[in-house]
Structure 1
């Protein structure tokens, strides 16, 4: 039984995130994401086979992410009204990396993105901001229409990339705060979910202390 327990939630992780020369082109084609932006696949610490290749980069203008996600043969399942149940990506950013906080502050942001569900035909991507449970404070009002999301669905995988502008990240100030909290989860109904650090059983969605630390490097 013990060898089946995840080990990542019992460690504090820190990763380096490289600076973007300019805000990336967000179209789902992943052209901005070279190997220097690739994030470590921490699931391999538990001898799991990764299903996600993740990238991240920053600039004074905001924070960008890219994901290449393997999937099975079944079609993507997305529902903007019940987004937490279906295929998609969650990205959490704490612009202060306050590890000692067991409850979210106004600097903690929980974004969710779905590869499908928007537009008249339902084939456009969805992006939203989730209000974290038990938070001490929530971020001030954020216009999520400013967030760029691009998706490309292929055979056996799909790619999703996004850029969160500084206007959507309360407290974003890389010059003064070079360490941020960062986390992602990929919900994958056709294969298996993948988490960057803490798993669902350890409450990453209410407790930001389980997120990794990201150093904003040059």
Structure 2
């Protein structure tokens, strides 16, 4: 019986991510990203192709995310139910507790829609994590800076999560955090980093990878 469990879910992953200073990519061009901030392609471990490059960066001010999806997009977003439609989701544990199977107040779940907001602009927000022992303080959506650019050849998206909405984010004292992502597009497919359904990756931090702040 094939349970469709990804091979990579049986391994632990650790990725070094450099700090960044300039942020021109928040204009939607992604021109400011260094290749050193590109997350590795783990889909290949399961014999699957990726359609998006995902970048991650940080500094004392917060965490930066970049997505460069290639191919004609078929984004079907649901702004009123953002977790049900297409878009980008990330999970982040500022304490990187590898043996915890339930989220703590240091675990965060954010969603991003490249379109669907005011004037068809991007949307961002925070979601509660199911079965969590405690939830972080929810943030105001406007505290997240987002930019996107959509064309017939793909879409590009950038976001900045300020440190004050990331409970426990203290890079001077703790240089690692747990992380994973999910990207969905009706036409391009489904891309994820460490694990996917049917595993409980949406609320089990032990299934996330580790990002080392370098």
TM-score (normalised: structure 2)? 0.94
- Structure 1: runs of 5 or more not aligned: none
1:88 shift after superposition: 0.6
Q: Is this contact kept in 1: 2:115–2:121, CA < 8 A? A: yes
Aligned to 2:131, what secondary structure does the other structure show? coil
Is the deviation greater in 39-48 or in 142-151?
Answer: 142-151
- Structure 2: runs of 5 or more not aligned: none
In 2, Cα distance between equivalents of 1:64 and 1:82: 24
CA displacement 1:17-47 (0-9 Å, x = unmatched)? 1111245551211122121111101001111
Is the deviation greater in 88-97 or in 24-33?
Answer: 24-33
1:206 shift after superposition: 1.2
In 1, Cα distance between equivalents of 2:85 and 2:22: 32
In 2, Cα distance between equivalents of 1:72 and 1:61: 34
Q: Counterpart of 2:166?
A: 169
Aligned to 2:135, what secondary structure does the other structure show? coil
Q: Counterpart of 1:20?
A: 20
> Which of the residues 111, 120, 125 maps onto 2:122?
125
1:89 shift after superposition: 0.3
TM-score (normalised: structure 1)? 0.93
Q: Is this contact kept in 1: 2:5–2:197, CA < 8 A? A: no
> Which of the residues 191, 194, 197 maps onto 1:194?
191
Q: Counterpart of 2:69?
A: 69
Q: Is this contact kept in 2: 1:88–1:115, CA < 8 A? A: yes
Give matches, 1:64-143, under 5 Å: 64-72=64-72, 74=74, 76-119=75-118, 121=119, 123-143=120-140
Number of aligned pairs?
214
Aligned to 1:26, what secondary structure does the other structure show? helix
Pick closer, same or farther for the CA change 1:144–1:134 going to 2, 3 Å: same
Q: Counterpart of 2:56?
A: 56
> Which of the residues 201, 210, 214 maps onto 1:213?
210
| Alignment root-mean-square deviation, CA | 1.6
